[in-house]
Structure 1
Amino acid sequence: MGVCGCGKSSVGEALAQRHDLPFLDADDYHPKANVDKMSKGIALQDDDRWPWFEILSRAINEKSAQSGSCVCGCSALKRSYRRYLSEHIDHPVLFVHLHGNKELLFERMSARKDHYMPPSLLESQLATLEQPESDENAIVVSIDQTVSDIVEETERALTLDARD
């Protein structure tokens, strides 16, 4: 989870591959109206997101029923969004918050090609982001490292979490 440009797709795909699990990119489940809005630089509102989360949670449940589990890259910016996903997904959900500073995020977004979300939406995403709190099933990993290092740090946190 995290704002645009944090590496959700790259890290999620790498984690999924490491564990031989399917990867779902939440962006692929946005209704066309959401994609059209973001393409025009218009930030999504809660009313835009709830139908998306409903579609996404069903897709995660279907994929997990086939394979036992899956990895999904999803912004899940607000606590209420994470709660909804946790309550509507049939398996336990762990959120890996990919966290980075605004400058690095903007640099990454500016370098992306063929993505519908323009860098101008970063501000709205940062304003919407609610950091995961201690009572949420979440870990925080810094994005100022390689994808491989992010995956390693995530694996170490998962291993420590499993021992608790």
Structure 2
Amino acid sequence: MKRTELVEKIFDVKREKNLTWKAIAEEIGGYSQLYLMTALMGQMRLPKPQAAKAAALFGLTENEEKMLGEVPYRGEQSLVPPTDPTLYRFHEAMMVFGPTMKEYIHEEFGDGIMSAIDFDLQMEREPNEAGDRVRITMSGKFLPYRYHQPEGNFPALGYKED
């Protein structure tokens, strides 16, 4: 079985049992609802206790339970740009606001990146008179770039030695 087939099986059982992601997360426990959703959708691994609870909830085989604990190929099915309208809007938001976010990170933190590994994602519904809004909070550890040059080469490149 491929991971994509396991994800489809999970969605089939979710529909069959009329489960919500909130109820699934409460049943499995141990992690945020968004993390558990990401794992059950094939993009993260589940620790053994959560994989066992997921296997019981979804009626998975022993091998399928083990697959939930394996490191996945992340973003494997991603199309760029995505064709799904919701995913496309996230892509569009990054195309529009991504350069601003990058510039802000470099000015505030220096030359580096925001980790997508040491990362937290939160989403919530925000009531608004003009129509409810989606509030998304992404929190990733700042990882500075490290420059590995032969010792003493920094002055030749115009940099100060640390």
Q: Normalised by the size of structure 2, how large is the TM-score? A: 0.24
Give the greater-gyration-radius structure (CA): 2
More strand as a share of residues: 2
More helix as a share of residues: 1
Q: Normalised by the size of structure 1, how large is the TM-score? A: 0.23
